[in-house]
Amino acid sequence: MSRRQEDKQALVDVLTPYFLAEGRHAVTRVVNALVRHSGALHRLHEMACNDPNYGPKEEKREARIMQLVQALLPASIKAEENGDPRGWSIILHLPDGKSNDFGGRGWGVPVPVWYSR
């Protein structure tokens, strides 16, 4: 299993308690959507660093993606966008304070397995 697949499985495991009423399939569906949105944000963050044509249109797209991300999550979990393409694109702030990043800020959502650098 690749590192990204392990990160994705860890995200499923950490979010499962928050989706007990909906079941395991709901968690998997949410995690797949979060990972997909994370990949889209990651591409936009790279574009912001490298493309001189990056502008308001892309910023609106980032905001729209973050709205979709927050809509997937229960109210007790807050999503934060991390604009630095070297790190997680989306960081989830969990009520129990679990973290998988060095700064202890929250739980990072991995980019899709198919995403290659």
User: What residues does each domain of the chain span?
Assistant: 3-109
First to last CA, the chain: 19
Assess whether pLDDT exceeds 70 at residue 100.
Answer: yes
Mean pLDDT of the chain: 91
| Distance between CA atoms of residues 12 and 100, nearest Å | 13
Tell me the per-residue pLDDT of 50-85, one tens digit each, with 9 for 90 and over: 999 999 999 999 999 999 999 999 999 999 999 988
Which tokens hold the place of 108? 């990072």
**Res 114: pLDDT:** 59
How far is CA 89 from each of CA 10, 48, 59, rounded to the nearest angstrom? 16, 13, 14
Query: In the predicted model, is pLDDT for residue 115 greater than 70?
Result: no
| pLDDT higher than threshold 80 for residue 11 | yes
Q: Report the percent of the chain where pLDDT is more than 70.
A: 95
Would you say residue 15 has pLDDT above 70?
yes
Counting residues of the chain whose pLDDT is more than 90, the rounded percentage is 73
Residue 98 has pLDDT above 60, yes or no: yes
pTM of the model: 0.91
**Burial class of residue 96 in the structure, from the number of CB atoms within 10 Å of its CB (0-12 exposed, 13-18 middle, 19+ buried):** exposed
